[in-house]
């Protein structure tokens, strides 16, 4: 009986909301309850992956509340996720038509412009967002726009603005990359360290920091960055290559070979040159020759691999094969290093005239170099 009375009371209350002369706050309360229910339904649809269902519900809410910003914000966010860019623009146009002047919409407008290849317009919109003093995703969107324009100064500016608002590992790492491009290794590594404090173990940051440290010849620091990744079984080839190169610089040959071959097995052909250099250092000449040959199949213009292959062939007492290989090398005519190697190979094969020609070219390419001049003097002596 008590439940029946409660049900009657509830129905009477709802009817009163619609009755003529009903108190306005009751009707408003009913509308708010309906909106709350609809928002929950939209959120549930979105969490279940039914984005179209969420869009339909949000469109109903927007139709009943055309002056509220929230349904527009949710609609354009989901439409951007669906990559329905014309529909997202329609929502933004509808918001403007209904005089919904909410600065929270500006970052989404900027994102839409970035994704439709209009980065300059996006930056202009995002500048307006900044003047509105609204803090949101505009920094990452602006960074993307500036990167599309290849405007490093703008990238730096927006990244620094973003960090003033809130620490972020990705943005900090991006700034580190800019310092690295400017060959400011100490500043870059300091920023990478800051990024890792925000997100310890971030594999992308660790890899970038390791490569930066290797370029700065700070091998111990490179291995420190790579160590947290060593226990992973799904390392990317680039990380394995970085580890291998670090071990090689420290003289840890077996560890270097293990990582470099693992990277090669995963399809990273660049490491064949590293393997060739390791084998050349240990005088394993046939292995060195094969490694450099593998690298040259993919990078026929690589001077270092042509030079290494020639040195291996000469060490194997195959100077004529070295001469033939060097003469077919595309970068020979402009390479001091390969000209010297060709001179050595020609001399070893018993062709002093060809050797002299190669050394002469090396002297022209690098007038201050002593090696080809000394070789020419030896050729001239009886």
Sign of CA dihedral 341, 346, 350, 356: negative
Rg over alpha carbons for the chain, rounded to the nearest Å, is 33
Rounded to whole angstroms, the Cα distance separating 213 from 197 reads: 17
Q: Name, in order, each residue with C-beta under 8 angstroms of 314's C-beta and a sequence gap of 6 or more.
A: 322, 344, 345, 348
Residue 336: both structure tokens together: 């001091």
Q: How far apart are CA 67 and CA 101, in angstroms?
A: 9
Q: Which residue matches tokens 């870059």?
A: 188
Domains of the chain: 167-227 (1.25.40.10), 237-299 (1.25.40.10)
Q: What is the pLDDT of residue 140?
A: 63
- Residue 83's pLDDT is 86
Q: How far apart (Å, rounded) are the C-alpha atoms in residues 122 and 138?
A: 10
What pTM was computed for the model? 0.54
pLDDT value at residue 344: 95
Per-block mean pLDDT, blocks of 10 residues, the chain (382 long): 44 45 54 78 86 87 86 86 87 87 76 76 67 52 63 74 75 85 90 91 86 86 80 68 84 90 90 95 95 94 94 95 92 91 94 94 93 91 74
């Amino acid at each position: 009986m008590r439940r029946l009375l409660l049900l009657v009371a509830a129905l009477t209350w709802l009817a009163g909301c619609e009755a003529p002369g009903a108190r306005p706050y009751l009707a408003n309360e009913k509308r708010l309850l309906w909106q709350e229910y609809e928002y929950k339904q939209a959120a549930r649809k979105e969490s279940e992956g039914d984005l179209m269902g969420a869009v339909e519900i949000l469109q109903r809410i927007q139709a009943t509340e055309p002056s509220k910003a929230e349904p527009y914000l949710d609609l354009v966010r989901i439409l951007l996720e669906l990559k329905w860019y014309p529909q997202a623009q329609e929502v933004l146009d509808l918001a403007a038509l209904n005089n919904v002047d909410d600065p929270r919409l500006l970052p989404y407008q900027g994102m839409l412009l970035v994704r439709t290849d209009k980065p300059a317009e996006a930056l202009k919109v995002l500048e307006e967002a900044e003047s509105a003093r609204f803090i949101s995703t505009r920094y990452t969107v602006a960074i993307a726009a500036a990167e599309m324009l290849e405007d490093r100064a703008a990238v730096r500016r927006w990244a620094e603005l973003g960090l003033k608002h809130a620490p972020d590992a990705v943005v900090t790492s991006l700034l580190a990359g800019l310092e690295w491009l400017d060959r400011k290794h100490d500043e870059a590594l300091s920023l990478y360290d800051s990024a890792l404090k925000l997100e310890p173990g971030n594999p992308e940051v660790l890899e970038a920091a390791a490569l930066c440290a290797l370029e700065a010849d700070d091998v111990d620091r490179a291995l420190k960055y790579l160590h947290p990744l060593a226990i992973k079984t799904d390392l990317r080839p680039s990380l394995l290559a970085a580890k291998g190169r670090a071990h090689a610089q420290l003289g840890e040959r077996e560890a270097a070979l293990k990582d470099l071959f693992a990277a090669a097995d995963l399809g990273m052909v660049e490491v064949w040159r590293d393997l060739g250099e390791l084998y050349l250092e240990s005088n394993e000449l046939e292995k060195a020759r094969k490694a450099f040959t593998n690298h040259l199949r993919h990078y026929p213009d690589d001077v270092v691999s042509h030079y290494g292959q020639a040195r291996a062939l000469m060490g194997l007492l195959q100077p004529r094969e070295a001469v033939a290989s060097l003469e077919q090398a595309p970068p020979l005519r402009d390479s001091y290093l390969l000209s010297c190697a060709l001179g050595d190979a020609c001399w070893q094969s018993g062709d002093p005239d060809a050797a002299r020609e190669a050394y002469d070219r090396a002297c022209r390419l690098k007038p201050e170099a002593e090696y080809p001049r000394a070789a020419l003097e030896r050729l001239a002596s009886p």
